[in-house]
Amino acid sequence: MAAPPVLVQVLRERRRSLAGWAVAFAAICGMYTSIYPYMAEMNLQAMLEALPREMIEALGYDDMSSAAGYVGSATYGLVAFALLMVFAIGNGAALLAGDEESGALELELTSPLPRAAIYVQRLGALWAQITALVAVVFAVTLTLDLAQGLGIPTLDLAAATLQLWLLIGLFGSLAFAAGAATGRRGIGLGVAATLAVVSWMLNAIGPTIGLEWMSSISPVGWYMDSNPITRGFHPVDALLLALAAALVIAAGLRRFVRRDLMT
């Protein structure tokens, strides 16, 4: 079976950029994880307890006394989460709508490939890049866990990684689908970034004001409920993230194959 031509071409064009992101992810996530032993000596949990309880809950720093709690909050709940969001939303909006606006998509649209195939293959390239970067986060964290003897359960780390991958894939797909549906990169960026911020706020602020239901409707809440690593695998939340991504992708595809394109 021949390799999907559009997917292969997109990945080839972005291989250097992806390599740069991978190195940056490895360095930053590795730095945050590797300093845990020094943070533990400073009694980080006691320092945090001096802060208002609402602030600690909003930041997801409820449990920083264990390596799993620290990595789940600092690496998986903050650094990797934020950087992956920036990458996925930016690339998702640019992969189809950005190329449509610049005219780079015209050659593909005049080829025998149906629009649906172009959409699916470009989306596949986005998910492939997200997968590679999430794998870097997992590999670096697991390597440091084993090297430093942090004692983070590998299955729990793998579960958190899976749910992080689903969450980032959801918002990357949202940016991609919104851009594909409108032909505007800015709309893809705006829609996905706005909903990502709103989702984070619902999860962070809702429980602190007694409105726990806000977290239950937030995709970020489905990932971050308690701690991504210490809570283990939540199949219902993972399923919700996967279903939300599927709905977003289907809606974007339906609109893309029907609308007039800027060619």
Domain boundaries, the chain: 5-256
3-state SS class at 226: coil
pLDDT of residue 228: 80
Give me the sign of the Cα torsion angle 252, 254, 257, 260.
negative
pLDDT of residue 139: 97
pLDDT of residue 73: 83
Q: Is 78 within 8 Å of 223 (Cβ atoms)?
A: no
- Residue 262 — φ and ψ, nearest 5°? -85, 70
pLDDT of residue 42: 60
Which segments in the chain show pLDDT lower than 70? 1-2, 39-65, 207-208, 226, 262-263
pLDDT tens-digit map of 67-81: 888 888 889 988 999
pTM: 0.90
CA-derived radius of gyration, the chain: 20
pLDDT of residue 45: 56
For the CA atoms of 252, 165, 98, 12, the dihedral, rounded to the nearest 10 degrees, stands at -120
pLDDT of residue 70: 84
pLDDT of residue 184: 93
pLDDT of residue 24: 95
